Amino acid sequence: MRADARRNRDRIVDVARMLFRTKGYDAVSMDEVSKTAEVGTGTLYRHFPTKEALYDAVLEAWAERVNSAVERALTLDASARDQLLAWLTAYSAMLTEHKGAAARITAALGDPGSPFAAKCQTYLGANQRIIEALSPALRPDVDAMQISRLVGGVAAVADNSEIPADAVQAMLGVVADGLVASEKDSLPVRA
């Protein structure tokens, strides 16, 4: 890519990131992005043929951040519950960085045709890593999709309301407590 084309692309992505974060995905038009980035609509569409493709570019570095957050949570010198809660908190925070993203991404879970399918797969993969690393301490029936939907639900509520951060943290604590195995869960079932 030529240097000027790369600069235009980077400027478009930076402007879109700012607009999505402040206004929310649904409230931002491609026309607004091109005007704010001071590029022609042809330039915008040459780089990003759809709004979803633009949103995808905005979140490119995101997969690396997700994996880093999993690693940070798993390397904490803490109980499995506290490691899990650290991950759930980071996950929720990432979902709510862009207004409206929590509900949109959570609703797209399991839809391979969604423009957010790659992001969903990244979250599902991260949750699977958490399950595998903490499996002895988690309920045996927990799966990555359940964690994604539970945290996505909490994040969507937080994203669309004025709930204070401590209330969100308390809800994530309830989710973590529900995912951690009780003694009863870890005992063999007798016939």
| Alpha carbons 3 and 164: distance in angstroms, whole number | 44
Position 186 scores a pLDDT of 43
Helices (H), 24-143: 30-37, 41-47, 51-58, 62-74, 80-95, 101-107, 117-134
Q: How far apart are CA 82 and CA 63, in angstroms?
A: 23
- The CATH number of 3-58 is 1.10.10.60
Does domain 62-185 match CATH 1.10.357?
yes
> What b-and-e string marks burial along 94-103, b requiring 16 or more CB atoms within 10 Å of the CB?
bbbbbbbbbb
For residue 7, what are its two tokens? 């600069």
The predicted pLDDT at position 25 comes to: 83
Helix (H, G, I), strand (E, B) or coil at 180: strand
- Per-residue 3-state assignment (H helix, E strand, C coil) for 13-29: HHHHHHHHHHHCCCCCC
- pLDDT score, position 184: 52
Q: Give the integer Cα–Cα distance in Å for 84 and 90.
A: 10
Looking at residue 1, its pLDDT comes to 63
pTM recorded for the entire structure = 0.73
pLDDT at 187: 42
**What are the domain boundaries of the chain?**
3-58, 62-185
pLDDT tens digits for the chain (191 residues)?
A: 688 888 999 999 999 988 988 888 889 999 999 999 999 999 999 999 999 899 888 877 677 889 999 999 999 999 999 999 999 999 999 999 878 889 989 999 999 988 788 888 999 999 999 999 999 999 999 999 999 999 999 999 999 998 999 999 999 999 999 999 975 544 443 44
